[in-house]
Structure 1
C-alpha cells in the first residue's frame, strides 16, 4: 500500500532560549517537549537568521535571508509578492493554515506599505470576522498580535474570547484597548481558559479534525506567543518556580572590556545611544539592562512558568494528532523564532548582541519511522532551511529562489551535516546598527558596517563567550581566515542552482 503524503505541523514559540527544555535543563518542566525529544531528533546547534520576530518569521516562510526577502527589521513589511512555502504546498494539493502569531507586517502601516496587522484594522473585529483572503500562502488564518496583556489584542483572538462568553475580556489588557492595572506584575489575572495558548491549541485541533475528516494533507503552523515578555502568566503557573531555587545567569566582571562599546553601555544607569540613532525610532536592546537582583530572579521564574504553560498546550495539539491517527504520517517540527537573554552577560530581552543565547534556538523534529527517535544532533541548522527541508521531506520540488539548505538527509539521519556554518543578520538602523555573524562548529565572528571593532569567540575553549579575541594578536591569522569565510558565506547565498537561460 502506498504511503500517504506526509503532513507538516510546525509549532513555534516566541523568544525562547535554546536551553529551556526540561530534557536538557533540569530546573524546567516541559513534559510534552520532552516527548518530542524522546520520539524524534533534537538539534542542539540551530540558529535564527535574525534575532527579531518579523525578519526571521519571514525567512521561515520564504526560505530566504532577511537581506534577501526585504523584511529586514521590526517595523518593516514582507511584501505580498514574495514567494512563500505555503504556495508550494498548495500547488501540491495541501491545505495550509496559520493559527497564532504571524507578524509579517508592522503595527503601523503607511500609504506605501499598508498593513492589515496594524491599527485600526488590527482591532476591527468585523473585518476579521469576515476575512477569507489568502495570506502569504496560508489559505486559512486565525491571528492575534499581542504578547500577554499588550493593548494590541484584537483580530481572531478577541473574536474567540467573545465566543467563549468572556464579555469583560478588555479588563485583562492594557489601555487604551483595555482597563488592566499596569502595575500588576508576573501574575496575569486572565483565567487560563481564556489564555491565547488555549485558543491556539483549540483552533489548531479544530483544523486537524477537519483535515483528518476530509483526508487531506496539510501544512499547519501553530504559532505561540510565549515566552516573549512582558513576563506575565496566569495562576498557578506564576508560582510554579521558586526564584530562590533557580540558577540566575549574571554578568561576569570584565567580560565586556574587549567588546564593541554598546555592550558595556548596557551596564550603565543612563547610557547615551544617540550616536546610533538614525531613524528616530526605538532601538531594541540599546539601553540600560540593569535590574535589581530580586527582580531578575522573579523574571526568570515567571519566564519558566510561561514555558511550562505553553508546553501544556503544545501537548494538547500532539495528543489530538495522536487521537486522530495522524501521528505516523505527520512531520512535527518545534522551534522558536529567536532566543532570549534573562541575565546572561548582564543582558535582558534581545537586541544587537549575537551571543548564542539570542541567535541559537531550540529545534525538535519528529517523523516516526523516518526521523531517528531519541537522537541528539549537533549538525548546524538554520531557520532559513525550514521551508526547503519541509518541501523535500514531502517530495515537493524546492523553488530556485529559496536560499536555505535542504536538511532532509540530516533529519533522516542519513547524512552528518548539510551546512558547515550559519549566518545571522541584525540591521535595526540603516547604517549605524548593521551587523552580520558567521558561526561554524568552533569559531564565531561578527562584523559591523563601517566599524573596525567586532567579535571573535572560540566556542570550544570559551563556550560562555566571555573572551572576545577580535583584537588578540594571537588570533590575527584566524580572524583573517574567518572574515574570508564570512565573505564566502555571503556569496554562497547565491550559489543555489539557477535555471539556465540561453540567449540567441
Structure 2
C-alpha cells in the first residue's frame, strides 16, 4: 500500500519512558496499539531539550545552532526564531501537492502560513491545558471530517500536555494515586563531581522537588499522558471514519522530556540527562518492509522531517541534513559505531551552553563558555548518570576520543564559540520579524 496521508502527532514534555510499551504503570492503549502496528524507535533523542530549538529541528532537519535558534526566544534577550527563509517539512509537502494543516501549539516564532501550512489553528497557553488540548483535537477532527480523502493530507496535531502547569485530569487520575507513584532511583543523587551549577539549580525554588510534590506531579503527569493518549484515539477515529487511516503514515513524538524527580530535579533545561533528551518516536508506515519493530538505534529528531518525507515516498532535500531514519527499521541491527550529538544553550535557569556526544555505552558533555566543565558517564555501568568519571586516568583515551568527535561535529556544522552567540548581532538577528506565535506566547515564554 502506498502512503497517501501523513499525520504528525506531537506532545510537549513527554518522556519516552512513560509510554505503556516501556512503563507498566502508564496507560497508553492507543499509543501501544500504534506501536504494535508500526515501529517503536526507542533510542530517539531530541536535539535540544527546550521547546523552540527542538521544534525548529523537527521542521527543518537542522540542529538548532545550524538554524540559528539556540534558545526559546526571550531567554537572555535572544530573538532568534524559525525564519520563513528556511526550508520546512510543511513547505516540501505543500509544494509536492499535499494539503498541509496544523492544529495546536507551534512555538516557532513565526506565523505558520509562511512556513508551509495552508490551514492553521494555533492555540496558546491557558488553564487547564487539558481543555485547550480537547479544543485542538476537536478542530483537527472537524477538519478531517470535511477533507476529501482522495487529496493527500499532511496533518499536524500538536498538543500542550503533559507540559506544566500539571493537572490531575479526570477520569484518568483515578489510576494514579499520588501515594503510589514510584520515586526515580536517582532521586538522591549527591551531584558530587558534577558542574556546580547543577546543585545551585536544584536549590532554586523551581529546580529541586520534595517527595510530596514529586508524587503529586508524577500523578498529574501520568494522567495528562493518558489524556493525550485518548486524544490520539480521537484523531485516529476521525481518520478511520473517512477511510484515511490505513494508507496514512502516522508519527507520534514529543519535543523533549522532563526530569520528573530524576537526580532530584523537576521540569527541564540546562541539564544533560537522558530524562530530558530521550523522546517517544512511534511510526506507522504502510507497506514498509520491517526487519525490526523495535529499533533501539541511537537517533536524533533532526531526522524527523526527512523520515516523514521518505515514508511518503518523497526525496529528502539536501538542506535537511538530518536525513531520515526510515531505513533503520529495514536493517537487522544497529550500526556498529553509533554516536549521536546533542546540544543545549540557555534556559530560564541561566546560560549553560554545552554539546554532547552519546554512544551506547558513554556520554560525554563538553561545556563551553566561561567555565569549560566536562562530564563523562559510563552508561554500561552507570545508566542513571550518577557518577562523573571524566577525571579517571584509565578513561583518558575514551574522553579524548569523544571530545574529538563532538568537536569535529560542532565545527563541521558551523558551531561557534560563546562570544559569537552572545554578540548583539546574533542575539538580535530575528528582532525585526519576530512575532509571539500570533500573540499566543508573548506572556508565556518564561513558563516554558
The TM-score range, normalised by the shorter chain, is: 0.7 to 0.9
Q: Corresponding residue for 2:250?
A: 332
Q: In structure 2, which of residues 145, 155, 159 is the aligned counterpart of residue 209 of structure 1?
A: 145
Matched, 1:80 2:84: yes
Q: In structure 2, which of residues 357, 363, 372 is the aligned counterpart of residue 444 of structure 1?
A: 363
Secondary structure of the structure 2 residue equivalent to 1:97: strand
> For residues 217 and 359 of structure 1, do their structure 2 counterparts lie closer, same or farther at Cα, with a shift above 3 Å needed?
same
Residues 318-364 of structure 1 show CA distances to partners (whole Å, capped at 9, x for unaligned) of 12222322222111111100011110000100011010000110111
Q: In structure 1, which of residues 345, 359, 368 is the aligned counterpart of residue 263 of structure 2?
A: 345
Q: In structure 2, which of residues 148, 173, 178 is the aligned counterpart of residue 243 of structure 1?
A: 178
Residue correspondence of structure 1 range 142-161 to structure 2 within 5 A: 142-146=121-125, 149=127
Q: Corresponding residue for 1:489?
A: 409
Q: Corresponding residue for 1:98?
A: 102
Secondary structure of the structure 2 residue equivalent to 1:364: strand
Q: Corresponding residue for 1:265?
A: 200
Residue 366 of structure 1: how far off its partner (Å): 0.9
In terms of mean alpha carbon deviation, does 8-17 or 435-444 score higher? Answer: 435-444
TM-score, with length taken from structure 1: 0.75
Residue 463 of structure 1: how far off its partner (Å): 0.8
Residues 246-284 of structure 1 show CA distances to partners (whole Å, capped at 9, x for unaligned) of 21226554541010011122343x5xxxxxxxxxxxxxx
Structure 1 stretches lacking a partner, 5+ long: 106-114, 117-132, 150-187, 271-286, 495-504
The count of residues paired between Structure 1 and Structure 2 equals: 406
Secondary structure of the structure 2 residue equivalent to 1:327: coil
Is residue 321–residue 327 contact of structure 1 (8 Å, CA) maintained in 2?
yes
Residues 79-107 of structure 1 show CA distances to partners (whole Å, capped at 9, x for unaligned) of 221111111111111111111000001xx
Q: CA RMSD in A?
A: 2.5
Is residue 405–residue 418 contact of structure 1 (8 Å, CA) maintained in 2?
no
> For residues 252 and 139 of structure 1, do their structure 2 counterparts lie closer, same or farther at Cα, with a shift above 3 Å needed?
closer
Measure the CA separation in 1 of the matches of 2:288 and 2:67: 32
Matched, 1:469 2:389: yes
Measure the CA separation in 1 of the matches of 2:236 and 2:292: 17
Q: Corresponding residue for 1:312?
A: 230
Q: Corresponding residue for 1:66?
A: 64
Q: Corresponding residue for 2:16?
A: 18
Residue correspondence of structure 1 range 118-133 to structure 2 within 5 A: none
Measure the CA separation in 2 of the matches of 1:240 and 1:135: 43
In terms of mean alpha carbon deviation, does 200-209 or 247-256 score higher? Answer: 247-256
Structure 2 stretches lacking a partner, 5+ long: 74-78, 415-448
Measure the CA separation in 1 of the matches of 2:124 and 2:233: 23
Measure the CA separation in 1 of the matches of 2:119 and 2:191: 47
Measure the CA separation in 2 of the matches of 1:139 and 1:415: 40
Measure the CA separation in 1 of the matches of 2:281 and 2:207: 28
Matched, 1:435 2:370: no
Structure exhibiting the larger radius of gyration computed from Cα positions: 1
Residue 371 of structure 1: how far off its partner (Å): 5.7
Secondary structure of the structure 2 residue equivalent to 1:397: coil
